Structure formats: C-alpha cells, structure tokens
A and B are shown apart, each in its own frame.
Chain A
Amino acid sequence: MKTILLLMISIMLSTSLSAKTFVYCSEGSPSAFNPQITTDGTSNNASAHTVYNRLVDFKYGTTEIKASLATSWKVSKDKKIYLFNLRKGVKFHTTKYFAPTRNFNADDVLFSFNRQKDKKHAYHLVGGGHYEYFNAMDMGNLIKEIKKVNDFQVKITLTKPEAPFLANMAMSFMGILSKEYADQLQKENKKERIDNFPVGTGPYIFKSYKKDTLIRFTKNKDYFESRPKIDKLVFSITPDPSVRYQKLKTGECHLIIEPAPADVASMKKNIKLKVLEGAGLNVGYLAMNVKKKPFDNVNVRKAINLALNRQAYIDAIYLGNAKIAKNPLPPTIWSYDKNIKPFEFNVKKAKSLLTKAGFANGFKTELWTLPVTRPYNPNGKKMGEMMQADLAKIGIKVKLISYDWPTYLAKSRKGEHTMIQLGWTGDNGDPDNFLNVLLGCTSVKAGSNVSKWCNKDFNKLITRAKTITSQKERTKLYKTAQRVFRKEVPWAPIAHSTIYRAMSKNVIGYKIDPLGGDIFRAVDLK
C-alpha cells in the first residue's frame, strides 16, 4: 500500500516545463514542411516562419518589407528588372540527415524559384507538382527569367511592371531551400524527402516530427540575424480549442493558437495569462451579385447597406472582437482611406432609396450564409438570421441558403448566388491583394470577385497602381478607388476582426503577425 502511495505521489509531483523549452499549442498537423507546396497557416507556422527565410521578409509584426537573405536590391527604370544582392556567410542547417559543405548562394535561389516555375525542373513534380500560391499570385507568368549574375547576385526579369512583386517575394512560398541538399537527395533517389525533412537558413532547425503529436525544433546558433533566445521550440498539436485553453492554464503550453472568441474575456481576467490583440488583415462582407436583378441597381445596394445594423453583428457574432468595416481594405493596410464616412444604420433612408429604385414593397431574394468559421465571420448562419431580420424591416424577404464549403466556393465563383457572405485575409499586406483579387475585372472571370462588379474607373485605378513602385502615388490611386467603391457599393463591408493571442505571463518578445502567422524568432521566457 505504502509503495502504491509513494508511486502516486511521485507521479503527481513529477515533470514541469523547463525554462528554455517553449511550447506552442497548435491546432493541427502540417501537411508538409515546405511552404512552396502548402497553403495553410498551420504548415507555414511549422516551416516558413521557423526553418526558412526568403530574399526579403516582412518586418516582425508588420507588413513592411525588409532585407533578409538579400541585403539590398535595385529596380530598373522600366520597373521590370530586379537585381538582388545576396547575403554572404549564411549557413544552412546541419541536421541528422544533412551536413552542408558550402554557404547559401545564388544557386539556392535559382533552385527554389525554378522548382516552382519550370515544369521540366528535376524537382517540379516532386510532392505533386502543385504550387498553389506561386500560381495564385501569378508568379509563373510574371517572372520572365531568373538569372545568376554571380554567386551573390541574382537578376529577376518580369514580363510587366508589378508593384506588389516585392511583397509577393516576402510571402511564405518564396522560401529558400538548399540546392546542395536537393542534389544529395537526388543522388540517393529520395527526392520526396525534401518536403518533409526540411533544411533552411531560418532561426530554428527541424529536429523531429511525430504526426498529430509533436514537432521539435532546436535553435539555430548560426542564425544570421539575432540568435533565438529559446533553446528548444516544441509544437504540441492540440486540435480542441477548449483543451488548448486548459493546457495554457496548467502551463503545458506557453502560447496557443487563436483562442475561441468566447474565451477571450475569461483569459483576460486570468492573472497567470496575458492576451495580446492586434487588428486583423481581413474583411468580412456581404457581396451583391450585380449581374442579377435587382442588384444591378445601385440604389438597391445602397439601401441594403443602410438597413444592416453592423454594430449588432459585432456585439452578437464577434462578441465585440471586431471593428465595423467601411472600406474593402482593412485599416491596418497602407492606403486605407480614413476619411470615408462610416455606413449609417438608417431604416427610413433605406426604405426611401428602395422606393426610388422602384421596389416600394420590397422583393424576395436569397442570401448565402458562410458555412465555415472564419476570423472575419465567426458564425455565418447567425449573422444571416440577423441580416434577414434587418432586411425584412425594409420589405426585403430573404431566404437563407448554405452549402458545404467547397461547394459554396465553387458555386459562388460561377456566380450562382444573389447575396453572399464572404471574406478575405490578406496574403502580403499589399492593397492590390484585396482590391484586385476581390473587386478587379479580371477576378470576375477568375471567380474571386463574387459581386461580379467590373467598374471601368475602379479597374483603371487599381491596374495603374500595380505598375508604380512609389507607395505615395499608389496610395493616392487606391484612395480614389475606395471612393469609387463607396459610390457603387457592390458589397456591404461588415467587419474587420481582431486577432488575439493568449500566452503565459512569462512569455516576452512575441508580436502579433498581421498576416495571421505565429512567429517565434524573438520569443523568450522570463
């Protein structure tokens, strides 16, 4: 009996987290350890932000571009040629499966980009040959040629001037892999390992991965920027959000991925925890299909904008964790027009606009509600019900409809809807990534412009802004574009959600990434 008692006591008292092991509780397993072939945040956190660097990176906690593996770059007068000067003395990781014999150079850049661009590249078909982000950002068509000038200079020629190009270069999928490692794997006939046993130049070295359980990293002592302060970084995969929260409370995690909105208030009250908040780079909106009657009438669209009680949605659906939207751009992005007036909530005015449009008795229509939970819209169905009640007040009888997520996306791309809830989280902090992707004329055909609104003035402005590199001039054009949007209102912008991160009180140096990632290169434990 005594032995059992002693054993029980020792079980209860055993193990606590050591000082320099940082445990991050993530929500799922990465699909691979190569950001070239993954698109989800879970995978990017486990590879792009830990193991890899890009030629340029986003400054920690911002969407500003800074030098990384390239120390500087020059842009030609016609804005089509970018000459990157590469950093010298950067070491690739030494792991159990690879020991580099040389430092980072231009060959690695060419290897990393050509794998995605060149269909005949020895590694192009490895891992399926699908480079979703590279294609989605149209990099294949945009980059005409990548040339090695010398070991530390790379020249990239574009097919046309494209201002967001540098921001695209800072995105996860442009991570630099080791060519020497790729050659070694090719010799060993193990090419597919490149996507699951990563070798990069980033702040942490991949150590091991046990699917659905843990990912282990150790610090890169040779990191070219400031050396990481924690020795071991562990991703503890915990899919259930309430369990993640309990693990945070008991000290089994130092930081957890996006907490459930309902838990934020109690987290803030807990003296052992701290909650950081930042404005999300996103927008949730109700798009109206202008190709379908009566939404081709601008007065109908304006009436709908006036009839929606946005504050009520923020309180009930976002639980106060969001800001009312007035523009298609989030306020965190440069060129956001602060001076545009917020939308009024005015039922009387909405009714008179509807009468002016010839719908004094309202009309019947459909509203598609978002079937998934997203930061920009945590509960599409509930929001749909609230919108339904608001629109009924001006005589619009709305039928709520929803589909499973892939069907919802596929059908909306084809324009089968009338009114639809959707949203967007920015990829690279460039206004073009919102205005062109969501409202540009080319996106009508591509499908991502679900309002099917193609306005010549608006399109001219955003197309021109793409060809100019001066941020000041681009800002002017984007501000004018936002005014055109406001006049035409193809959407009812609803909200920009707030990003929260909950962590133990002893976590220092962590910054919220506006692009939604979790980055630990400057994190430490008190």
Chain B
Amino acid sequence: MLKIFLGKLLNLIPTLIGISILSFILIRLVPGDPVLLLLGERGADPAVYAEMQKSLGLDLPIHQQYFNFVYNVFHGDLGQSIISKRPVATEFFDRFPATLELGFTALLFAFTCGIPIGIFAAVKRNSFWDYFLMGGSLLGYSMPIFWWGLVLILIFSVQLGLTPVAGRMSVLFEVETWSGFLLIDSLKQEVIAEDGFEPFLSALKHLILPSIAMGTIPLAVMARMTRSSMLEVLGEDYIRTAKAKGLSEYHVITRHALRNALIPIITVAGLMFGSIITGAILTETIFSWPGIGKWLVASINARDYPVIQGGVLFIATMIVLINAIVDVLYIYANPKLRT
C-alpha cells in the first residue's frame, strides 16, 4: 500500500510543474500591469514606474522570473503580496480556516441530503419521486452559484428576514480567532462568559446561506451518483439472494446495497474537495466570506502576481494530494484493484 502511495506521489511532480507554469503564465497573459495599477490613475512618472517594477522583480525576463519563483518555492517562500506586503503563505493561512469551515458545512449539507435523496430515488426508480428528485438535482447542478446565492439572500434574508445577508459573524461580537473556525472559537470560555452563546449562534446563522449556495452542486452530484451506483448494485445477484433469504427491504438496502454502492462515491467525495475551492471563489465573493476564494478574486483584480501564482500552486497541491489519498483509499476499499 505504501508503494502505491509513493508511486502516486511521484506522479504528482509533473502535475505540479505543469500547474506552476500555467498559473505563472496565465496571469501574465491577462491584460493589466500591476505596477500601473499600484501607481493609480493620477499619472506615473516613468522613473517611479521603472523603480517600482525593479523593486517587484518584474523587470526581469519572464523565464528568469519563473525560475526565481520556483527557486523560492523550494526554499519554502511563496513570495510576498504586492498589495499587502505580507508573505503569501501567511495571507493564505489567515484565510484558509474560513474557507474550510464553509467547505465542511457545505459538504456536510451535500452528503446528508444528497445520499438519502439518491437512495430514495433509486429505491423508487421510475416513480414520480424519482423523476422529481432527479429533475430537481439537475436543476441544482445547472444553477450558477452567483445567481443562486442572490436568490437565497432575497428570499431568506430580505423577504423573510431569517438569515443575515453576508459576512461571517455579526459585527457586534469580537471573537479572537484561535483555531480560525468561528464555530469553535465562539465556544471558548471567555467568549461564553461575555456574550453567552450569541456569537456561536451568529456564526451558525451566517453559515446557513453560503453553505446551501456552495453545497447545492455537490448535493446534486452526490444524489445522482448515489442513485446510479445504487441502481447498479440493486441489480446484482447477491441482492436478489438477500431478498430471497427473506431479509427486510431496509436491511437489504442499508447492509448490502449501500455499502457496495458507496465505493465509487469515495472518488466523487475527493473530487468534491476541488469543487469546494472553485465554489468558494463565487460563494465567498457573494457572501463577503473572508476566505481564500474572495482573496484570490481581489488579487486577480489587483494583478497581485505572487498571490495568484503562490495561492494557485498551494491550492493545486492540496487538491492533487487529496486526490492521491482518495485514489489510495479507493484501492484499499476495493480489493479487486490491489493487483
């Protein structure tokens, strides 16, 4: 098993080289000059421009800029943000817990609703419920997040007044972050002593809409995936045998069918992690969620090259690593693949 994992890790090297080149070149192909953006529209003196370009290392030939970037990455330095002047890694870890918190709740929403919906649709195959749920999941999959997010805000926040529009917690509370997860930090003793459970409830309330907006597409994928996987398993001989033995429908589905049907779902779950990051870019912008998605959008607008290339490389490494772990888990779960 360790051999397989190491093999997977070796495969990562060309992938990461490709990603680093792509992230480096793509942002430079986008029109816009970070130096001019930094200098503003009030007019830049050519000498000041040249000086700033030099100080940012942007006067070097592009291949040299790339090699410098790679050299620094190998020395554990992802560079420094042009805008905030802080290390990219520090900026990243400041925001990552917020994205993770949102991502986990969105996935929790997707799994807890998606899997039961898929099972139900498979069991009630070709019935009204099957068509209704699968039609709904297709709709959920097709909805653009930015539009769906605004619809949720309009209904639940503006019309019904049930949830806040945006942000991570009410501005009334000042919770010092320790873990970076506000749901955890707001349960610290000193916070409870000062404001009771109000900060926790506020954080929870702020999570509802962005989690739904971000979790809708994964939910739809989970539901459809679970349904097709279940249908495949339900047609197997051993299910018929189990039924012939006189086992209850519930027992057959949960003990025999679901267990086997879940195997391909593990792969999907891994891919979902990638969709969290892409979903975060839109969801965080709409809901003013201070995570890495919003940070990347702001950095792209400001042509903050080090943040974009460093941030993308960091995210890509994580996604690729998680996919490698999922691949290994998949092999572990399915003995047929071990040879």
Binding site for B on A (CB under 8 A): 10-12, 14-15, 17-18, 21, 23, 28-29, 31, 39-40, 127-128, 130, 132-133, 135-136, 192, 208, 210-214, 216, 234, 236-240, 242-243, 246-247, 249-250, 252, 403-407, 409-410, 413, 446-448
Residues in chain B near residue A247, CB distance under 8 A: 165-166
Residues of A within 8 A of B83 (CB): 31
B24-51 interface code vs A (CB 8 A; 1 in, 0 out): 0000000111001101111101001000
Asked if B20 lies at the interface with its beta carbon under 8 angstroms from chain A, I say no
Asked whether A246 and B158 contact (CB < 8 A) given A14-B202, A406-B36, A407-B31, the answer is yes
- The reply to whether B294 and A212 contact each other, CB–CB distance below 8 Å, is yes
In the complex, the chain A residue whose C-beta lies closest to that of B149 is A243
Which residues from 94 to 137 on chain B have a C-beta closer than 8 Å to any C-beta of chain A? 94-95
Cβ-based interface call for B309 (8 A): no
Q: B40 contacts which chain A residues (CB < 8 A)? A: 39-40, 132
Contact check, B205 vs A11: say whether CB atoms are below 8 A apart. yes
Which residues of A lie under 8 Å from residue B45 when comparing CB positions?
Answer: 135
Task: Indicate if B167 sits at the interface (CB-CB under 8 A).
Answer: yes
* B140 sits at the interface (CB 8 A): no
Query: Quick check: B170 and A246 within 8 Å, CB to CB?
Result: no
CB neighbours of A246 from chain B (8 A): 153-154, 157-158, 165-166
Q: Are B298 and A446 in touch, CB under 8 angstroms?
A: no
Q: Is the CB of B17 closer than 8 A to any CB of chain A?
A: no
Chain B residues closer than 8 Å to A404, beta-carbon distance: 31-32
The answer to whether A406 touches B32 (Cβ under 8 A) is yes
Residues of A within 8 A of B153 (CB): 243, 246
Bound CA span A214–B150, Å:
22
Chain B proximity of A177: nearest CB distance (Å):
18
Give residues 263-289 of B contacting A (CB, 8 Å). Answer: 285-288
| Apart from the given pairs A130-B39, A405-B37, 16 other A-B contacts in the complex at a CB distance below 8 Å | A15-B172, A15-B202, A17-B171, A31-B83, A132-B42, A208-B174, A211-B91, A212-B290, A213-B290, A246-B166, A250-B157, A252-B164, A252-B167, A404-B31, A406-B36, A407-B32
| For the complex of A and B, 8 pairs with smallest distance between CB atoms | A406-B36, A404-B31, A39-B40, A213-B290, A15-B170, A212-B290, A247-B165, A136-B42
Cβ-defined partner of B52 (8 Å) among A130, A239, A448: A130
Does residue B55 face the partner (Cβ distance < 8 Å to A)?
yes
Contact B165 A11 (CB under 8 A): no
Alpha-carbon distance A239/B153, docked complex (angstroms): 15
A128 and B55 in contact, given A21-B171, A239-B298 (Cβ under 8 angstroms): yes
Chain B nearest Cβ from A211, distance in angstroms: 7
B55 neighbours in A (Cβ, 8 Å): 128
Size band of the interface chain B makes with A: 35 or more
With both beta carbons as reference points, the residue of chain A lying nearest to B55 in the complex is identified as: A128
A447–B46 Cα distance when bound, in Å, is 11
* Interface presence of B198 (CB below 8 A): yes
Please state if A413 and B286 are interface contacts (CB–CB under 8 Å).
no
Which listed residue, A21, A192, A446, touches B43 by the CB 8 Å rule? A446
Check A10/B201 contact, CB under 8 A, given A213-B167, A250-B157.
yes
Residue of A nearest to B84 (CB): A211
Interface residues of B (CB under 8 A from A): 31-33, 36-37, 39-43, 45, 48, 52, 55, 83-85, 91, 94-95, 150, 153-154, 157-158, 161-168, 170-172, 174, 198, 201-202, 204-205, 285-288, 290, 294-295, 297-298
The CA of A243 and the CA of B94, in the complex, are separated in Å by 24
Compute how far the CA of A214 lies from the CA of B52 in the bound complex, rounded to whole angstroms: 29
Cβ contact within 8 Å between B174 and A240? no
Closest beta carbon of chain A to B186's beta carbon, Å:
12
Q: A29-B298, A250-B157 are in contact. Are A243 and B33 (CB under 8 A)?
A: no
Given A243-B165, A405-B32: A14 and B198 within 8 A (CB)? yes
Q: A14-B202, A243-B288, A252-B165 are in contact. Are A410 and B42 (CB under 8 A)?
A: no
In angstroms, Cα B39 to Cα A208, docked, is 27
Q: Which residues of B contact A240 (CB under 8 A)?
A: 166, 285-286, 288
- Quick one: which of B39, B43, B94 contacts A447, CB cutoff 8 A? B43
- Can you report 19 A-B residue pairs in the complex whose CB atoms are below 8 A from each other? A12-B163, A23-B171, A132-B42, A136-B43, A211-B84, A211-B290, A237-B288, A238-B166, A238-B167, A238-B288, A239-B288, A239-B297, A240-B286, A404-B31, A404-B32, A405-B41, A406-B33, A407-B31, A407-B33
Complex interface: chain B residues within 8 A of A18 (CB): 172
Residues on A with C-beta less than 8 A from B295 are 212
Smallest Cβ distance from A241 to chain B, in angstroms?
Answer: 11
Give chain A residues whose Cβ lies under 8 Å from the Cβ of B170. 15, 17
A214: chain B residues at CB < 8 Å are 171
Residues from chain B with Cβ under 8 Å of A211 in the complex: 84, 91, 94-95, 290
Question: In the assembly, what is the distance between CA of A40 and CA of B158, in Å?
Answer: 31
Q: Which residues does chain A contribute within 8 Å of B36, judged by CB atoms?
A: 406, 409-410
Bound CA span A246–B286, Å? 11
Q: Which residue of A lies closest to B205 (CB)?
A: A11
Do the beta carbons of B48 and A130 come within 8 Å of each other?
Answer: yes
A403 & B31 in contact (Cβ 8 Å cutoff): yes
CB atoms of A17 and B172 under 8 A apart: yes
Q: Which of B154, B162, B170, B297 has the most CB of A within 10 A?
A: B170
Given the interface pairs A212-B298, A243-B287, A252-B165, the reply to whether A39 lies near B171 with Cβ below 8 Å is no
Which chain A positions have C-beta within 8 A of B297?
A: 239
Per the bound structure, the CA–CA distance linking A239 and B167 in Å amounts to 11
Among B42, B171, B174, B290, chain A packs the most CB atoms within 10 A around the CB of B171
With A and B bound together, what is the CA distance between A447 and B33 in angstroms? Answer: 18
